[in-house]
Amino acid sequence: MVDEHVVYSRSWVHERAKYFFRYITGSNSEIVYAQVRAGDVKHSQAAIDRITKTGFTPGGDFDRGLKDTIEFFQS
């Protein structure tokens, strides 16, 4: 289950990107970070407080969901 108080760090996002490219797609592409551009959103986090008030509890496995999504678009 996802903890609504968890803040995913940049390193977590970087590790998920590496996982995505290397283990799910089989690519050995290098992750390259470009300079920040004017107007870029630096940090973004979804607010789920309204949906959780309805009784909905987010859950699931991020890696499994990512893999399922890729397989869907590849078929």
Rounded to 10 degrees, the C-alpha dihedral 14/15/16/20 comes to: 100
Q: What's the pLDDT at 3?
A: 46
Q: Check if the beta carbon of residue 17 is closer than 8 Å to that of residue 62.
A: no
- The tens place of each residue's pLDDT in the chain, 75 residues long, gives 444 444 556 677 788 888 888 877 788 888 888 888 899 887 777 788 898 899 998 888 877 888 888 889 888
pTM over 0.85: no
Q: Check if the beta carbon of residue 5 is closer than 8 Å to that of residue 52.
A: no
Local structure of residue 55 (DSSP, 8 states): T
